Amino acid sequence: MKKFYFLILFALLFTPICVSAQEKVEEKAQLEAQVDSLELRIAKLEKRAKVWDKLKQHFKISGFIQAQYIWQNAVLSRDEMGVSLTKGESTFNLRRARLSLAGDIFRGKKAGSADYRLQVDFAGSPKIVDLWIRYRPFNELGIQIGQFKNPLSIENSEYSPPSKLEFIDNALIVQRFIHCGSNDMTGVSAAGRELGAQLYGGFIKNKEKGFNYITYNLAVFNGNGINVKDNNRSKDLVGRIMINPIKNLTLAAYYQWGESDLSSLSKAWAPKVLDGVANAKFTEIQRYGGGVAYNSKTVFARAEYIKAKTGSLISDGAYVSAGYRFCDKGLVGARFEYFDEDNNATGCQFNYTVGLSYAPWKHMLLQLNYTLSQYHKMGYRNGNCVALMVTGIF
């Protein structure tokens, strides 16, 4: 009987301990199963992340929107009656609304690299501004085909997107000679871009600092603007060479030859271009010049000169700009420029611009510019322009 009571007492004392031990074993098994499940999920997420990282190299979506306010008391314009000065304007406008898809097709040391870009501007009438693919098997040689920036000048091709430019507007010589504005000498407005192909590359590479001492561009274009087929047998030929003695300093020289369709010119402007040539449909154009640019984290300075022949009309222009970057977010700069659209006449235009840029956040840029325009010996009063532009970047 005593043994029986002892067994009962033993069972009462040790059964909870056994049950507790069993529960701990089961709980441990459950935790191990959860850990295994989490590790499996983490492995899957890491695999997806690696796949996504690879995809991001091939497909990168970006873009920007630029809203602008302009006040100016006088606007120099050209219409069917000739050159005139209007009363000016005070207006808000959506200047650009661009969406870009770009990425690497592949990138490797032995096989070189290949990439592409598609960029559409939805401001006004939607239009494709960039659509190109390029392949660079060697550092010294690459080929680009499609619609892209004309390499004439430093500013037009090396300061893209527009939010990279220190001022709201391009210099006059870029607007008037490179199809970059509505008042281009040929009457063509193409955002500085053309349809065609180019060879490009660099020589004597500084691997430590990541730049070439010499770079070049050899391009052939339709010459009629964006999204437009050629309408003559000739092509616009553009060549540029840039020398970089140090990383932040660039010296450039460039030349363009081509033919332009006279149908884009106003009736008042065509006689000056033709200068007695009857029944012509196309006219020869030439542009040549050079420039120098210096860029660092704190200061920038740039100057360019272009001389142009549009039919019988000889024109030229130049600009000098400089500025200081502060607080990693702001920039203050000034630009002086002149433009003489007819060297045989006595008058020309001088612009004096001061500008302030500030980026309060990574994805926002605020720009304020004031420009004084003087029309020397042209019979027009001075023009004043204040422009404010907000850029949202994504």
The CATH number for 212's domain is 2.40.160.10
Selected residue with higher pLDDT from 274 and 136: 136
Average pLDDT, the chain: 87
Q: Tell me if residue 131 falls in helix, strand or coil.
A: strand
Q: Around Cβ 159, how many Cβ atoms within 10 Å?
A: 20
Looking at the structure, do residues 233 and 305 belong to the same domain, yes or no?
A: yes
Which pLDDT does position 167 carry in this prediction?
96
Looking at the structure, do residues 272 and 207 belong to the same domain, yes or no?
A: yes
Looking at the structure, do residues 45 and 64 belong to the same domain, yes or no?
A: no
Is pLDDT of 274 > 90?
no
Which pLDDT does position 300 carry in this prediction?
97
Q: Which residues contact 294 (CB under 8 A, 6 or more apart)?
A: 248, 249, 250, 300, 301, 302
Is pLDDT of 75 > 80?
no
Looking at the structure, do residues 29 and 150 belong to the same domain, yes or no?
A: no
14-27 mean pLDDT? 63
Is pLDDT of 66 > 90?
yes
Q: Do residues 88 and 75 touch, judged by C-beta distance below 8 A?
A: yes
Domains held by the chain: number: 2
Is pLDDT of 212 > 80?
yes
Which pLDDT does position 200 carry in this prediction?
98
Looking at the structure, do residues 16 and 127 belong to the same domain, yes or no?
A: no
Q: Do residues 252 and 290 touch, judged by C-beta distance below 8 A?
A: yes
179-205 mean pLDDT? 90
326-354 mean pLDDT? 94
Determine the Cα–Cα distance for residues 370 and 388; give it in Å rounded to an integer. 9
Say what percent of the chain tops pLDDT 70. Answer: 85
Looking at the structure, do residues 40 and 73 belong to the same domain, yes or no?
A: no
CA-based Rg of the chain, rounded to a whole angstrom? 32
Q: Among 54-63, 167-176, 344-353, where is mean pLDDT lowest?
A: 54-63
Which pLDDT does position 372 carry in this prediction?
96
Predicted confidence band of residue 325 (pLDDT cuts 50, 70, 90): very high
Looking at the structure, do residues 284 and 321 belong to the same domain, yes or no?
A: yes
222-244 mean pLDDT? 90
Selected residue with higher pLDDT from 81 and 259: 259
Selected residue with higher pLDDT from 51 and 251: 251
58-75 mean pLDDT? 91
103-110 mean pLDDT? 83
44-51 mean pLDDT? 76
Q: Which of 10, 31, 58 is the last residue of a domain?
A: 58
What's the gap between Cα 299 and its chain centre? 20
Determine the Cα–Cα distance for residues 255 and 288; give it in Å rounded to an integer. 4
Which pLDDT does position 377 carry in this prediction?
86
263-274 mean pLDDT? 64
Is pLDDT of 97 > 80?
yes
Q: Around Cβ 25, how many Cβ atoms within 10 Å?
A: 10
Q: Which residues pair with 293 in a beta bridge?
A: 250, 302
Query: 127-138 and 112-121 as β-strands: parallel, antiparallel, unpaired?
Result: antiparallel
Domain limits at 8?
1-58
- Of 174, 287, 205, give the one whose Cα is nearest residue 239: 287
Q: Tell me if residue 56 falls in helix, strand or coil.
A: helix
Q: Which residues contact 102 (CB under 8 A, 6 or more apart)?
A: 60, 62, 115, 116, 117, 118, 119
Looking at the structure, do residues 240 and 364 belong to the same domain, yes or no?
A: yes
Predicted confidence band of residue 324 (pLDDT cuts 50, 70, 90): very high
Looking at the structure, do residues 35 and 145 belong to the same domain, yes or no?
A: no
Which pLDDT does position 361 carry in this prediction?
93
Looking at the structure, do residues 35 and 178 belong to the same domain, yes or no?
A: no
Instruction: Tokens for 304, please give them.
Output: 């360019």
323-341 mean pLDDT? 95
Looking at the structure, do residues 339 and 386 belong to the same domain, yes or no?
A: yes
Selected residue with higher pLDDT from 217 and 9: 217
Looking at the structure, do residues 77 and 40 belong to the same domain, yes or no?
A: no
Which pLDDT does position 108 carry in this prediction?
78
Q: Which of 58, 78, 100 is the last residue of a domain?
A: 58
Q: Which of 58, 81, 97 is the last residue of a domain?
A: 58
DSSP state letter for 245 = S
Peptide bond into 161 cis (omega under 30): yes
